Amino acid sequence: MISDLKYRQHICEIGKKVYEKGFVAANDGNLSIRLGMDEFLITPTGVSKGSLTPEMIVKVDGQGNVLEGELRPTSEMKMHLCVYKERPDIQGIVHVHPPYATAFAIAGMPLDQAIMPESVVYLGTIPIAEYGTPSTNEIPEAISKYVHNHQGVLLENHGALTWGKDLDHAYYLMESLEFTAKINWIAKQLNGDRELSNRHVQKLIEMKTKMGIKGYSPLGVQTPDGIHAMKVTPSPIGELSEHDVNRIAEKVTKNILNELKELLK
């Protein structure tokens, strides 16, 4: 216990942060750290993340057997173990229900738009893993197809999950994920959100590659020269987005050309 005390303390610190940030309510959410290839520390079930103490943290193996601890591990343990199994490089995982990101997960909207440089570079695209009943194998099955090419997922009608090179990294990814969802939501309310052009996104992806950050990034949208960003979601007052207008114009032009061709036959 002494040797892993600092990891237990770290889980308690991050638990406090997610609770105080309002990323979870009551006893929701769970956190874990990899100690070795087949040894993990994970939060217990039924305890608020804001009031964890080091001896409450449970030590388990890769099959979920309890190696050390009085309390039962979180019922969402399978989801953590699946990520560790698929990604031996991952050392820490955060699962919480942050309000804006969870609202996107409920609305069925992935975080896959290039709305801010930081999100494109550091977060990448956050897809939605299809709904699964908590504690069953349905959630691990749903996330396994995204775990290699992304840094986190939204869990459909449930919450969010991030994984990182350590627990701090997973936590900061979760902060960025919630921040991106919140800003996106506010922009949508103001005048509809505008997405960066794919020319600009390409430059960001080059930076990301140089920094050694892996995972899929949003692609951005096609824009005329000199236009940096284009509206992709209509404003709340119901106006059409530029993206929609372009698509309609394209369709109308095509129809007119086809009719002309018929007339000239």
Cβ 4 to Zn ion, closest distance in Å?
A: 25
Cβ 45 to Zn ion, closest distance in Å?
A: 11
Tokens standing for residue 43: 């939060």
Q: Which lies closer to Zn ion via its Cβ, residue 159 or residue 220? A: 159
Q: Is 76 a catalytic residue?
A: yes
Q: Which lies closer to Zn ion via its Cβ, residue 8 or residue 49? A: 49
Q: Which lies closer to Zn ion via its Cβ, residue 97 or residue 208? A: 97
User: Exactly one of 20, 70, 76, 242 is catalytic; which is it?
Assistant: 76
Please state, in angstroms and rounded to a whole number, the distance separating the CA atoms of residues 132 and 134.
6
The beta-strand segments (E) located in 11-151 are 30-36, 39-42, 58-60, 66-68, 92-96, 128-129
Q: Which lies closer to Zn ion via its Cβ, residue 134 or residue 234? A: 134
Question: How many residues comprise the chain?
Answer: 265
Residue with tokens 């769970």: 30
Binding mask 133-172 for Zn ion (x = CB under 5 A): --------------------------x-------------
Residue closest to Zn ion, measured at CB = 159
Looking at residue 133, its amino acid is: T
Is residue 59 within 8 A of residue 117, CB to CB? The reply is no
99, 106, 131 from 138: Cα distances, Å:
23, 17, 8
Q: Which lies closer to Zn ion via its Cβ, residue 132 or residue 159? A: 159
Cβ 30 to Zn ion, closest distance in Å?
A: 7
Residue with tokens 């309890």: 66
Is residue 131 within 8 A of residue 107, CB to CB? The reply is no
Q: Which lies closer to Zn ion via its Cβ, residue 45 or residue 198? A: 45
Tokens standing for residue 228: 């940096």
Cβ 199 to Zn ion, closest distance in Å?
A: 39
* Other residues' Cβ atoms within 10 Å of the Cβ of residue 79: 28
**Residue 121 DSSP code:** I
Cβ 109 to Zn ion, closest distance in Å?
A: 19
Please state, in angstroms and rounded to a whole number, the distance separating the CA atoms of residues 248 and 265.
26
Contacts with Zn ion by CB under 5 A: the residue count is: 1
Name beta bridge partners: 196: 229
* Exposure class string for 54-64: b at 16+ Cβ within 10 A, else e: bebbbbbeeee
Q: Annotated active-site positions, please?
A: 76
Q: Which residues of this protein are in contact with Zn ion, per CB under 5 A?
A: 159
